[in-house]
Amino acid sequence: MPIGTQRLWRSRVKNGLQTLLIMAALALVLAVPGYLLAGGLGIVVSLGVVVAGALAGSWVPARVILADAGAGLLHRHQAPSLYRLLDTLYRRAGLTRPPQLFYAPSPELNAFAVGTRHDGGIAVTEGLLRTLTLRELAGVLAHEVSHLRHGDTRVMSMAAAMTRLTLWLTTVLQLSLLLLVPLILAGELRLPWSLLLVVAFAPSLSTLLQLALSRNREYTADLDAVALTGDPEGLASALAVLERHHGRWLAALFGRHPPAGLDWLRTHPPTEERIRRLMGVEATRDASLHDHHDDNHHAPPEILERPGAMGRRYWIRRRR
């Protein structure tokens, strides 16, 4: 088995276990305020609401984002080189549905997966298409294909639902404590210290766990993208470009070296660490995407025509 494949599988197992542990911790943090409010029934209702919200929310929020961004569907005849890349990536990832590429006329450098492997696609911005070469863009697209392949949009939707519900439940607990203040001051009721601790720390702990889960899924998607493209240097180069662009606001606030503690508050791992991990993976040139295409992969992709905005009504009513 190739060295890169061994490392990929070890990383998948490790990150999979970490994902299970983080999700279990999120469920536990959510269960505590649910139990304090309604006992066992509160736990069951809370987790049920999370599951229902995740199933409904893994696609709807993405449609709202696309609508607000003025996005449109980029057709094959408008971006043939990108669709040739996506066809190969989807085939290697085992995705059977035809790829869909959405275009947002934003100057920001961004790409994100939309929906799931059964009904989703990938959205890219104008800034990304103008800045990255075809080789770098192949790594980014492979990264997003990995998110679709492993259902990361649904996992992160469930984690976000847990965090939001934890915040709402602790807010209810806070209001309950305010109502009990007269009884506590009158000495008729002891101060519930355990309840105070839950109210104080549960929302922050849930948010930190959600951020840790996001970083975990990004590491897995990076290595899975290399398995799809056979080209770790392409994705590493794209990450370096994105870091130079997105790191400007941090540099403006904190100087050349932002505080290391900010890493705990990021949805993505530090770019330097991501690049280091990628460069430790052996390239598999026999499986490289660029050996199968005639395009100049050192230049930006050719977009023959930009689609217009589809409008909010289209995205909200869209079924697939």
Q: How confident is the model over 99-122, as pLDDT tens digits? A: 989 998 888 899 988 877 877 789
| Domain chopping of the chain, boundaries | 3-317
User: Is 188 tagged catalytic?
Assistant: no
Mean pLDDT of the chain: 79
CA distance linking residue 77 with residue 176, whole number of Å = 60
Highest mean pLDDT among 47-51, 112-116, 123-127: 123-127
Least confident range of 10-14, 90-94, 204-208, 269-273: 10-14
Other beta carbons less than 10 A from residue 5's beta carbon: 13
Say what the pLDDT of residue 320 is. 45
Q: Could you read off the pLDDT of 307-317 as tens digits, one per residue?
A: 877 766 666 55
Say what the pLDDT of residue 5 is. 59
Given the residues 108, 126, 136, 144, select the one marked as catalytic.
144
Least confident range of 111-120, 146-155, 157-166: 111-120
